[in-house]
Every structure is written in structure tokens, then in C-alpha cells.
Amino acid sequence: MNNSTLLIFCVMLKNENQEYVLDKNLQDKYDILLGWRKRYTRKEYPRKVMTNLFYDLYAGKALWPKVAEFVSARDKSPGENPNIDFNKALKIIHDTRRKIQLEKIHPNLDLMLSNDVPITAKLCFSDSAQAIESAASGNDEDLEKIEYSYICHGLASNMISYWAAAVLSGKDPEKAIYFINDVLPGGNLETFDDLFEKLIFVSGLYLSGETTSGRNIGKYKALPAFSS
């Protein structure tokens, strides 16, 4: 199934818990951006936003092999690797992700960014270079694009942890996506790129889309103009 058919094969499901999680994560993103607006100048702010986004995305991507290792071990010896409670699994994932950030991403972030290490085949830091420069020079449209990217990609990055916890608690990797969401994207799930594409689709739908029944669920609101 290719990208053009992803929209056609989406099915709306209901999961009030994840809607709450997304609402909270969204508010957290807005609060962080507003805090950075107060702390940094207009020239500094755009790069700060994108640097922190990639710091988080790199850690999220690093969870993929960890989850794959767990699934492989569980499938080979199910009796020795019992499924665990979702909340306990989520704590394990959060702790693992934080350890990855501190030990692997933080000390290497500048090098990873300068080497343009990609998140997926379609997403790398250099993609935002022009928008960063333009926004830093006063272009409000590009500034909003950067803030929207931080929110949309950031929500998808947050969902990686919930997906991973669902897998650790016994869900099939594909079914884990709609366990944590009210959306079921189509397509394969064989690589991290596949996973992230699905979660970006969910995030974008949550921020600015409609359900298949026509219900508007867009939650995105642009921030007010940046005041220096």
C-alpha cells in the first residue's frame, strides 16, 4: 500500500484515554514554545525549536530497535518474557527513552545535526535550514511552519512511547497503533519509517483534520505574533 492510499484506508476508532493524552501533550507543546519565546530572541528562537525537536526525535527513533529486541525475545521464549501491565510498560519506556537521551543523544547531538543524520528518509534537519533562517530574519509564515512542525512531529514522537508500551504490554505492533489512537492508518509496519509515517498521519489529523464521518477534530491554533 503506497502513501497515496493511506488516507483512503483510515478507520476511525474510539479511545478516550489517548485523546486526553494528546490534549495534554498538545498543551505541553504550546507551553514549551511560549516559554522559549520569552527566553530567546527572535533570531535564536527558530533554531532552538528545531534543535529540541530533533533531540526528541532521535531518542524516539532509538526506541525502535529496543522494542524489536523485546518482541523477538518474547516470540522465541514467551514463557520467559511475560507481558506486563501497560502503565508499568510505559514507565519502562519513559525511563529507557530518558536514558537514551542523556547517554547517547545529548553528548552527540551537535555532531548528529551537523552530519544531518536523518530521522526517516523524508525527514532530516537540513530540510528546515531555509525556514530557520527566514523565520530568524522576521518571516512570520516560516516561523509558524517551524512551530507547527515542532507540535506535529513532537506529538508523533510522544506517541512512539505509547506505541512501544502497548507492544511491551502484549499488543501486536500494528494493532498497538490503534490501541493508543482513534485512527487506524493503512499500510505496512516493517520499519521505523513506516511507524513514523502512520503517527504523523494521526498527529496531522488530530491537529487539523476531519474524521471519515466529517466531524472536525482540528486542535491546532497558531500562536500570536512573536514579540521581541
Q: Where are the beta strands (DSSP E) in the chain?
A: 11-12, 183-184
At 84 the pLDDT is 78
pLDDT of 2 > 50? The answer is no
State pLDDT tens for residues 17-65.
455 578 889 999 999 999 999 999 999 999 999 999 999 999 999 999 9
pLDDT band at 216 (very low <50, low <70, confident <90, very high): low
Say whether pTM exceeds 0.75.
Answer: yes
Proportion of the chain above pLDDT 70, given as a percent: 82
Angle at 53 between CA 190 and CA 141, to 5 degrees: 110
At 174 the pLDDT is 83
State pLDDT tens for residues 100-155.
999 999 999 999 999 999 999 999 999 999 999 999 999 999 999 999 999 999 99
Q: Give 197: exposed, middle or buried? Use CB within 10 Å, 0-12, 13-18, 19+.
A: buried
pLDDT of 99 > 90? The answer is yes
- Greatest alpha-carbon pair distance for the chain in Å reads 59
Q: Tell me the DSSP string of 57-112.
A: HHHHHHHHHHHHHHHHHHHH-TTTS----HHHHHHHHHHHHHHHIIIIIGGGHHHH
Quote the cell numbers at residue 1: 500500500
pLDDT of 186 > 60? The answer is yes
At 208 the pLDDT is 83
